[in-house]
A and B are shown apart, each in its own frame.
Chain A
């Protein structure tokens, strides 16, 4: 089975380590970035199937990062995964083209299935 290439963007190292371990067990290749700026650099340098993006980060916010990713790579699915239950972030994130908006804590299965859905949706032709 082909490995899914995931970019996890979150400023919390505990979160990055935990989810990296869980996804490696699910046959995914994980890279992580601790800021929006680092995420944009990594996306330029490598090919990813899906980005999982936090909202509240020091420096460039998650929503700004999302807008920049979408401007450069409209086809790259971005799943927002945040600890801030914030209505405005939901609205702005989805309007900016996020594939989905999830709240922490999220089960590994649930997140993995969203990732798989996003990978498949990416392959679909748009009308």
Chain B
């Protein structure tokens, strides 16, 4: 490349009066500048995508899509600029780019194109193989009804096909993705606004033709026996209830729905996919927000005497036996954590009850006359009675174990006892069980015993952790929840799951280990006590506590010994769906296959990644700029003067007077006023030399230089090793390397202010990124004070003045010239705030001197360096 760069600009040089040639050069230079900007953007974005794949931090699919598209857009911008630098020569790149981008798109898309199935399916026809249409919740229920002859409610499923049709027919797919994309947040309050926007969009969307009719027909079938029917309309999303992600309580279940209201209830369940808590759950679990398919189960309500849950293993103490929970009335209080419930431990071999904990229950839920769910206070004395008899407890345990044997894994089974004395099974799903020994140990931490402030709470998720207590009683409290606090609440409401990734531990006064919130706590490995009477009164106002969810005890203060002794939280991070999607797209982005510009394979057709295109465009742009066929011979002239740095000058028209000596030019012969203004800025105040050495600043530079081959002395900048002034009568462009930083300075100052501008691009440096950022901030402040608009990001800065008079451009050139020279190496000193202040003051003084000396005829007073 070196030889090519020496062959420069002869054509233009030979035709100094040719205004078109000058204009063409300026156009090419501008396209080159835009290409370099896009190049930097593209490389930064590729680096960020790689970092995302490695970092383990949480992000959603919208982030992966946006990163991919932004990187691609920057690369497409480079192609556009290169094509404009030499029309017709590089068009093949566009097809190569399009192909790579469509490959990226295919790597990101998850939803398979399934043939459309029926929009509804009757439960009597559903078996496990219907799962892709009904979701696992409904499919498994159909399977136990058919395979184990268990009684389930009558009903039907609104299928995955119906959901896809709804999304596509109404355009909701695109609209929801757009709303998520523009919100770009994982903050709870912003997600609540997003939830409201998505809810509005779903409310306004039309159902696909035939859906409402199909739902009505199924409801009519249920009503055929003449009884008044009420339905439970439940989510049964694809992937919901899997072992990896239960989504417990994240989606809506509507109870007591009248047949005529099922279609609108379906709409509400679909909308619950986008509740703030469900979105945050997916975000924190790394689950794809674009991959959820909401199937919905619609089942006849059971007028229940009692209801509850069977866990075929106690999730926090698997060796204990089968855990049966029950409450009077509908089973909803068992799973929503809103009240105390009865629990039994059953021996799985003998089916005998080995332990019973009968709570003093206050409430029961039932179906009211209009189909609504009503809460009734239990009569005096009734609340202390067991919700069901021990015979039924044993029977439920036996059935639960049969389901476990049928599916070959522990189960979470929801049931209801009908008025006729028969049991209905409402749901079954795989149960995640703690693999480690976690038998409750009664106060093993003897030395901490005096600090125990709450004992005998029910462990719901194993572990030990400490933090400050934060009581959450309202939705507003949720917004204030601090990172790492112990979440204290009265009821184990499922909505609180949004806080669990930020909580160190959970204590809920009411609820049970069978609640949705307990499920989510176990998924996130957050120690939890659920069922801790009196906890709110005892712990409110207490600052730091340690929650031991092995023993059911809370201690005052941080008990580090206990926390250290618990190592169960260090479960290996599972690579989640979102990271997997990112890793599928990265092979089309990052690998660099085109490394040798002289190889015959250095062609558009051999570009296999966006990085390859970036590399190709950069190489060819340098060629077009400095060695293209219309600039066959070098005719740059060396600038004469006693300068420690050497400069060459290329005139693109009217920038110089003819000089006598071939190959050299003196400042006296320069006619470009903008260049002379720049030169004055660079030279009017002598450079003091590098800042006084400090060991840490010096070491920072040494270590950066060792890591960054671009900083090795002698490595070419974008223009090669020489620093060139490219000048015209009203124009000057300087691309140079000063010390370790790279700069572009450009200005145009003619009679028409609308065409005038001054531009400054500045990046790099020798010190570490922190010091370079401080320097950029200082440079940005100085430029802004002198009328530039500035965009600074990390260690890169773009600044510009546009549409101003000739004099303002020249003053801008002088300021840029000063900064170019005088900010050399000061990044080394930038760890010291006092040094920053000293430089700021000096720069202001010096720049005043520079500008005061800038004459109307800028060329007459410049001095040599």
Alpha-carbon gap, A65 to B275, bound state (A): 35
Q: Counting CB contacts under 8 A, is B803 at the interface?
A: yes
Chain B: minimal CB distance from A63 (Å): 14
Q: What is the 8 Å Cβ interface bit string for chain A, positions 73-99, against chain B (1 contact, 0 not)? A: 000000000111111101100110000
Q: How many Å lie between the Cα of A119 and that of B179 in the bound state?
A: 30
CA distance A19 to B753 in the complex (A): 26
B174: chain A residues at CB < 8 Å are: 56, 84
With a CB–CB cut-off of 8 A, which chain A residues contact B757? 120
Binds A, one of B98-106, B120-128, B295-303: B98-106
Please tell me which one of the listed residues B27, B80, B803 contacts residue A125 in the complex, with CB atoms under 8 A apart.
Answer: B27
Determine if B375 is an interface residue (Cβ-Cβ < 8 Å): no
Contact B94 A127 (CB under 8 A): no
- Which of B34, B84, B94, B801 interacts with A126 by CB under 8 Å? B84
**For residue A100, which residues in chain B have a CB less than 8 angstroms away from its CB?**
73, 77
Chain B residue numbers with a CB within 8 Å of A95 are: 94
B87 within 8 A of A: yes
Output the least CB separation between B496 and chain A (Å). 29
Residues in A with CB closer than 8 Å to B178 are 56, 82-84
In whole angstroms, what is the CA distance A82 to B98 when docked? 19
**With known contacts A2-B803, A90-B69, A101-B73, A127–B104 Cβ distance under 8 A:** no
Contact B73 A90 (CB under 8 A): yes
8 Å CB interface, A1-43 against B: 1-2, 26
How far, in whole Å, are A126 and B27 apart by their CA atoms in the complex? 8
Which chain A positions have C-beta within 8 A of B31? 121, 124
A84 pairs with B27, CB closer than 8 A: no
Which of A103, A113, A124 has a CB less than 8 Å from the CB of B70?
Answer: A103
Asked if A85 and B66 sit within 8 Å, CB to CB, the answer is yes
Residue of B nearest to A2 (CB): B803
B69 touches A105 (CB 8 A): no
Q: Which of these, B37, B62, B87, contacts A85 with CB under 8 Å?
A: B62
Question: Of all chain B residues, which has the CB nearest A113?
Answer: B791
CA distance A124 to B803 in the complex (A): 15
On whether A113 and B76 interact (CB within 8 A), knowing A85-B62, A104-B182, A127-B84, the answer reads: no
B69 touches A87 (CB 8 A): yes
Q: Determine the distance from Cα of A94 to Cα of B62 in the docked complex, in whole angstroms.
A: 22
Residues of A contacting B200 in the complex (Cβ-Cβ under 8 angstroms): none
Q: How far is the CA of A105 from the CA of B183 in the complex (A)?
A: 7
Chain A interface, number of residues (Cβ within 8 angstroms): 35
Q: Check: B860 CB closer than 8 A to any chain A CB.
A: no
What's the nearest-Cβ distance from chain B to residue A28, in Å? 11
Partner of B800, one of A56, A87, A103, A116: A116
Are A124's CB and B27's CB within 8 A?
yes
Least distance between A60 CB and chain B CB atoms (Å): 16
B177 at the interface (CB under 8 A from A): yes
Of the residues A56, A91, A101, A127, contact of B27 by C-beta under 8 Å: A127
1/0 per residue, CB under 8 A from A, across B230-245: the answer is 0000000000000000
A90 with B101, Cβ < 8 A, contacts A2-B803, A103-B66, A105-B182 known: yes
Binding-face segment, B18-26, B336-344, B574-582:
B18-26
Are B73 and A85 in contact, with the CB atoms below 8 A?
no
Q: Is there a chain A Cβ closer than 8 Å to B192's Cβ?
A: no
**B352 is an interface residue with CB less than 8 A from chain A:** no
- Cβ contact within 8 Å between A124 and B34: no
- Taken together as a complex, chains A and B put the C-alpha atoms of A117 and B759 apart, in Å, by 11
CA distance A125 to B68 in the complex (A): 32
- Interfacial chain B residues near A104, Cβ < 8 Å: 181-182
Asked whether B30 lies within 8 Å of A125 as measured between CB atoms, the reply is no
Q: Which residues of A contact B104 (CB under 8 A)?
A: 87
Contact in complex: A116, B94 (CB < 8 Å) = no
**Complex contacts, B101 vs chain A, CB 8 Å:** 87, 90-91
Within 8 A of A (CB), among B496-514: none
Rounded to whole angstroms, the CA-CA distance of A127 and B798 in the bound complex is 27
Partner of A87, one of B72, B87, B754, B803: B72
By a CB distance below 8 angstroms, the chain A residues around B34 are 117, 121
The residues of B that contact A101 with a CB separation of less than 8 Å are 69, 73, 76
Q: Check A127–B24 contact: CB distance below 8 A.
A: yes
Contact B182 A109 (CB under 8 A): no
- Residue A102 is within 8 A (CB to CB) of chain B in the complex: yes
CB distance from B77 to the nearest CB of A (A): 6
Q: Which residues of A contact B98 (CB under 8 A)?
A: 91
Contact pick for B72, options A2, A90, A125, CB 8 Å: A90
Chain B, residues 83-122, CB within 8 Å of chain A (1/0): the string is 0101100000010011001101100000000000000000
B802 within 8 A of A: yes
Question: CB-CB contacts of B152-184 with A at 8 A, as 1s and 0s?
Answer: 000000000000000000000011011101101
Is B755 on the interface with A (CB-CB < 8 A)? Answer: yes
Contact A85 B77 (CB under 8 A): no
**Assuming the A-B contacts A87-B72, A104-B181, A116-B800, are A121 and B24 also in contact, with contact meaning beta carbons closer than 8 angstroms in the complex?**
no
**A101 vs chain B, min Cβ distance (A):** 4
B72: min CB distance to chain A, Å: 6
Residues of A within 8 A of B753 (CB): 2
Q: Which residues of A contact B685 (CB under 8 A)?
A: none
Neighbouring A residues of B175 by C-beta, 8 Å: 56
Give the Cβ gap from B177 to chain A, nearest Cβ, in Å: 7
Which of B181, B755, B803 contacts A84, CB < 8 Å?
A: B181
B65 at the interface (CB under 8 A from A): yes
* The residue from B72, B76, B184, B755 contacting A123, defined by CB atoms under 8 A apart: B755
Known: A95-B94, A120-B802. 12 other contacts (CB 8 A): A1-B801, A83-B182, A86-B69, A90-B73, A103-B66, A109-B791, A112-B789, A113-B791, A117-B37, A121-B31, A126-B87, A127-B84
Q: Which 8 A-B pairs have the closest CB atoms?
A: A124-B27, A83-B178, A2-B803, A85-B65, A83-B182, A87-B105, A104-B182, A101-B73
Sampled A-B contacts (27; CB under 8 Å): A1-B801, A1-B802, A2-B753, A26-B789, A56-B175, A84-B178, A85-B65, A85-B177, A85-B181, A86-B69, A87-B102, A90-B69, A90-B72, A91-B98, A91-B102, A100-B77, A101-B73, A102-B73, A103-B181, A104-B182, A105-B182, A105-B184, A110-B791, A116-B802, A126-B84, A127-B24, A127-B87
